[in-house]
Amino acid sequence: MPNLTYESLQAEYAWMLVSDQLQQRNNVLAKSISHMERNPKELPMASRLIILRYHLKMSLRQLTQSARQHKSESVNVNQLAEQWQHVHQLFFLLRQIDNELGRATTESQALRSWMKSLDGRVYRSSLVHLN
């Protein structure tokens, strides 16, 4: 069993937070796509969101695969540093997704008004989970 330290618990908590937020974005994207597909005029935006969701899933798959590979090759001394590196990579992906989703929301009135209707409910489950 690995050595539990305050630093390793902090890294694990940060990983849980970013993972939960990435799952929330995935859910928002799925619902947004479904909403946009209902209106034929919004199909280009739906396509853009599908590509963004695909990017999210593929990036997560690559980062997770890379982290597993490094974990099996690394020595315990570097384990904490590699864990933080993985967390930082996930946070970077989260920022990318948020930026692209924000840009799409700015460009589409339909998406913007639909997202505003979600306000307050979108991240509720992550807040409940954290408390």
pLDDT tens column, 99-125: 999 999 999 999 999 998 886 555 444
| CB 12 within 8 Å of CB 2 | no
- Per the CB < 8 A criterion, the answer to whether 47 and 28 are in contact is no
> Residue 3 domain-assigned?
no
- Please give the pLDDT value at position 38: 95
| Residue 130 reports pLDDT greater than 80 | no
The answer to pTM > 0.75 is yes
Q: Is residue 108 part of a domain?
A: yes
In-domain check, residue 2: no
In a domain, 122, yes or no: yes
Domain tally for the chain? Answer: 1
Q: Residue 107 is part of which domain span?
A: 11-70+78-129
Handedness of CA 43, 48, 52, 54 (dihedral sign): positive
Quick one: which of 105, 89, 86 has its CA closest to 29?
A: 105
Q: Is the pLDDT of residue 1 over 90?
A: no
**Where do runs of H (alpha helix) occur along 6-123?**
6-37, 43-73, 76-107, 109-118
More confident residue, 24 or 79: 24
Residue 94 lies in a domain: yes
Residue range 32-86, pLDDT digits in tens: 999 999 999 999 999 999 999 999 999 999 988 887 776 665 556 588 888 899 9
Residue 5 included in any domain: no
Residue 1 lies in a domain: no
